[in-house]
Amino acid sequence: MSNNKSRYNIRIPLLFSLTMVIGMVIGFQLKDSLRNTESKNKIDQIINLINEKYVDTLKSNALYEDAVNGMLQNLDPHSVYISPDELAAVNEDLDGSFFGIGIEFAIIDDTIRVTSVIPKGPSEKVGLVVGDAILKVEDSLVAGNNITSDRIVKLLRGQQHSKVKVSLLNCINHQSRLVTIERDEIPLVSLDAAIMLDDHTGYIKINRFSATTYKEFLPALKNLKQLGMTNLILDLRDNPGGLLNEAIAVADEFLDDKKLIVYTQGSKSTKEEFHAEKAGIFEKGKLAVLVDEGAASASEILSGAIQDWDRGVIIGRRTFGKGLVQEQFELANGGALRLTIARYYTPSGRCIQRSYAKGKDDYEEDFEHRLASGELTGNDSLAQADSAKYFTNHKRVVYGGGGIKPDVYVPYDTLLFNKSLLNFINSPSFQNALWHYYVTHSNSLKSFTTKQDFLQHFDSKELLQEMMYAYYKSNPLPPQKIILNISSGNQFELQLKASVARYLFRNDGYYTVFTNGDEMVKRALQVLKDKQYLMVIDGK
């Protein structure tokens, strides 16, 4: 009896203590729940008052979105709300495909002109060619009625294997026809080009890291190796990043021995490391990576790993400086919250994220700050006073604090500061003049059977004269000023020639011509062929 009483005396305090602990936990959770409910009620109350009392009629959804965006203003520049209307396009860009008819087009003279047909795509199967104009889609007239790109895209896209009738007029032979096209999956290609620049040097241009990037990259790399490539120029300029796993897979083809490629860590997320996992097919050849102020995120991870392991030479200008990891959370309204959860670190331990302490507006004006300081045009001066030093595999000094600083600096092309000329290149007048040149010279242009044939034998004098006339018509400048602008360098003529080559040979044609006069590519070729390559990666 006494033993039972003793056990009873022990259990009562234990039970009482346990009850108190459970009560405290429930209390804290209830307090948090009430606090969250109270906050939500405040937002709802304010929005309800606005809807009921405000002088003008407003949309409740817009008020909620403004409230969300207001909260995100206090976070980093890359934590964003994606509305339901925007989400499909954002996901499509990362997924790397959509369902459509497989053409690229331009609106010229208020008419849809086919400027490229995807090989083996739905449109090529029914005979669409560069030079076709789209007059009608089903019963909708799309020529001569102020058609927009958004509207034609909505008309041409649809469910896989659905069919659409398209009325065409060929601008070269002036024959009209009606075709029925079966929509299918169309890749959003992330490799712009994979070509040989000379007998030993390959060139690959990646425009972003989508779900299909590595699938595009690997066969391209294998093909260039079969063509005799021993040196590679990997162009990541203006590549805003994308999917981390795709950048890691590309890096894995260059790095051996389970080398660390990147790691992530945040205050609420554990450290996660990503290593090379297999034997890459280009672990030994010379490698030059081209970067600029538009290369960000996954592009910086790839170039940072190459630099830290002294695997290749980074050429160009300091990268964007985005070293934050976002996770996308789907929301009940069909939108999504892309929230920063960690930071990226290169193998040497660098966080490449630049400061956003002065606010988002200042952060977004970084290009203007670099331009004003002269960093882009000749003064290669990453502010290193507040940046920690790190060391590569060969003990070379590299810096954190804002992007990947290249090993070999190439200044910004000053042609791009010629505002009137740049505006013309991006104007409808430029597209119209280029298109009309192609249509009127199509027979002679088709005599060029290869990209190299076009590069070596195409005479661009007549093209330049026609574009000078179009430029003159679209600009109020005096003729002598226009001629000075046009002759401000060979880059404009090179741009024209490359644009015509794109009509004939798609992107491979464009880059075959353009890289021939690209100053950064020229610098890379020089570095790969002389002693500077080994001097850089050996830290000398």
- The residues pairing with 269 across neighbouring beta strands, listed in sequence order, are 266
Catalytic residue among 205, 259, 322, 405: 322
The Cα 292–Cα 154 span in angstroms is 34
Structure tokens at 237: 């300029």
Structure tokens at 451: 């990209």
Angle (CA) 131-137-142 rounded to 5° is: 70
Catalytic residue among 123, 297, 299, 348: 297
The Cα 469–Cα 465 span in angstroms is 6
Helix locations, 238-329, DSSP H? 244-252, 298-308
Other beta carbons less than 10 A from residue 289's beta carbon: 28
CB 112, CB 130: distance < 8 Å: no
Is 322 catalytic? The answer is yes
| Amino acid, res. 344 | Y
Short-list 417, 398, 405, CA closest to 488 = 417
Short-list 266, 200, 203, CA closest to 229 = 200
The Cα 48–Cα 66 span in angstroms is 14
The Cα 85–Cα 333 span in angstroms is 11
Is 297 catalytic? The answer is yes
| Amino acid, res. 422 | L
Structure tokens at 184: 């299918």
Cα distances from 25 to residues 14, 29, 109, in angstroms, run 17, 6, 70
Lookup result for tokens 């909505």: 154
The Cα 327–Cα 308 span in angstroms is 26
Angle (CA) 64-70-75 rounded to 5° is: 130
Q: How many CA atoms lie within 13 A of 401 on its CB side?
A: 12
Contacts of 58 (CB under 8 A, 6+ apart): 50, 51
Catalytic residue among 235, 252, 308, 407: 308
Q: β-pairing, 201-206 with 191-196?
A: antiparallel
Compute φ and ψ for 338, nearest 5 degrees: -100, 105
Structure tokens at 355: 């400061």
Helix locations, 134-276, DSSP H? 149-156, 213-226, 244-252
Ramachandran region of residue 64, left (φ > 0), alpha (ψ -120 to 50) or beta? Answer: alpha
Q: Which active-site residues does the annotation give?
A: 297, 308, 322
